[in-house]
């Protein structure tokens, strides 16, 4: 399965850590963590489906 | 929509899962909480005033731990007293019709144990079917139950997920739509204030840029989702 690159994962984790540390209370931390989970999930789905957008007929990977 | 969460637990303060859910509701939602054990101990259940209370809300949630495949006895007592006063039943039944009834059920077991061939051999839909029939009788819109499983084994990240999903359920009654849930989270992120985070001016700029990125990624995902629906 196509996966996010290590660099992308690292970037996401760093940003997630930054947001978590900024949260002043547990519910805000929960919201930010959940937002990052969704972000990661959607980024992963888009990665898997790369090339299926914009007509779904071709993928730049195949060029 | 106004939501009332009716909690049936013998000792709310002693329950980690229930207090977590109550604090979540207080922080993220405008739902009102009613601890019926405390109410019963204080004044008993008075059908007329309880019926009047219920009629003020659009969505009523019964929240309880599952004990021997049932709700704690206090919920049965509440239903018997409040919903079955024959002198008032007809008028009340007419007025309460069309409201939503949801369930929040806390389970000690794993969800996969509730299925044919599983440890308990019955699904949660079967176990909770009495509430569905009850909703049908009173013409309430029965919502898919919100199930909390193995709360005490949850990691911090799982608790964060539970917190937001539960708040979403109380505010929308929905357990199914991922797209609407994403929109809900996005809305909460938009409303974040200085009271909730220690952000410098630069941090806010970065945060706003990230929100725009999340927005863009969500739109792309939505496009994919719509496309897969067309193909499907």
* Predicted pLDDT of residue A46: 79
Q: Determine the Cα angle at B129 with ends B173 and B153, to 5°.
A: 65
* Predicted pLDDT of residue B155: 95
Closest CA to B161 of B139, B135, B181, B133: B181
More confident residue, B194 or A9: B194
Residue A46 CB partners (closer than 8 Å, separation 6+): B217, B220, B221, B224
The complex scores an ipTM of 0.87
- Beta carbons of A31 and B227 less than 8 Å apart: no
What burial letters (b/e) apply to B159-188, b meaning 16+ CB within 10 Å? bbbbbbbbbbbbbbbbeeeeeebbebbbeb
What is the nearest CA distance from B32 to chain A, expressed in angstroms?
Answer: 18
- CB-neighbour burial class of residue A32 (10 A; exposed 0-12, middle 13-18, buried 19+): buried
- Beta carbons of B224 and A49 less than 8 Å apart: yes
Q: Which residue of A has its CA nearest to B155?
A: A30
> Using an 8 Å Cβ cutoff, are B115 and B123 in contact?
yes
pLDDT digits 0-9 by tens, A11-63? 777 877 888 889 999 999 999 999 999 988 888 887 777 766 555 555 556 55
* Predicted pLDDT of residue B80: 93
Q: Is residue A33 less than 8 Å (CB to CB) from chain B?
A: yes
Q: Which residue of A has its CA nearest to B215?
A: A39
* Predicted pLDDT of residue A52: 62
Q: Which residue of A has its CA nearest to B223?
A: A53
- Its pTM stands at 0.90
* pLDDT band per the 50, 70, 90 thresholds, residue A2: low
Q: Can you tell me whether residue B13 is helix, strand or coil?
A: helix
- Written as tens digits, the pLDDT of chain B (232 aa) is 999 999 999 999 999 999 999 999 999 999 999 999 999 999 999 999 999 999 999 999 999 999 999 999 999 999 999 997 676 678 899 999 999 999 999 999 999 999 999 999 999 999 999 999 999 999 999 999 999 999 999 999 999 999 999 999 999 999 988 889 999 999 999 999 999 999 899 989 988 988 998 888 888 877 777 766 666 5
Q: Tell me how far apart the alpha carbons of residues B3 and B185 are, in angstroms, rounded to a whole number.
A: 19
């Amino acid at each position: 399965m196509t996966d996010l690159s290590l660099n992308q994962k690292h970037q996401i984790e760093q940003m997630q850590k930054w947001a978590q540390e900024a949260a002043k209370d547990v519910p805000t931390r929960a919201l930010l963590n959940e937002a990052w989970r969704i972000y990661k999930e959607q980024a992963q789905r888009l990665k898997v489906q790369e090339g299926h957008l914009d007509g779904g007929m071709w993928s730049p990977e195949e060029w | 929509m106004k939501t009332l969460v009716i909690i049936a637990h013998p000792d709310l303060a002693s329950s980690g899962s229930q207090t977590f859910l109550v604090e979540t509701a207080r922080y993220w939602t405008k739902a009102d909480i009613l601890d019926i054990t405390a109410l019963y101990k204080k004044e008993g259940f008075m059908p007329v005033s309880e019926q009047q209370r219920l009629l003020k809300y659009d969505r009523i949630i019964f929240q309880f731990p599952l004990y021997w495949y049932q709700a704690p006895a206090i919920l049965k007592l509440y239903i018997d007293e409040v919903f079955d006063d024959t002198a008032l039943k007809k008028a009340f039944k007419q007025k309460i019709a069309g409201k939503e009834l949801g369930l929040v059920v806390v389970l000690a077991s794993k969800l996969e144990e509730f299925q044919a061939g599983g440890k308990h051999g019955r699904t949660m839909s079967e176990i909770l079917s009495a509430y569905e029939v009850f909703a049908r009788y009173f013409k309430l819109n029965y919502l898919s139950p919100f199930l909390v499983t193995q709360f005490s084994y949850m990691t911090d990240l799982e608790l964060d997920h539970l917190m937001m999903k539960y708040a979403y359920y109380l505010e929308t009654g929905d357990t199914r739509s991922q797209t609407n849930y994403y929109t809900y989270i996005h809305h909460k992120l938009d409303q974040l204030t200085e009271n909730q985070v220690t952000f410098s001016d630069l941090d806010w700029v970065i945060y706003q840029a990230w929100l725009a990125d999340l927005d863009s990624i969500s739109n792309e995902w939505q496009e994919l989702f719509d496309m897969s629906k067309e193909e499907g």
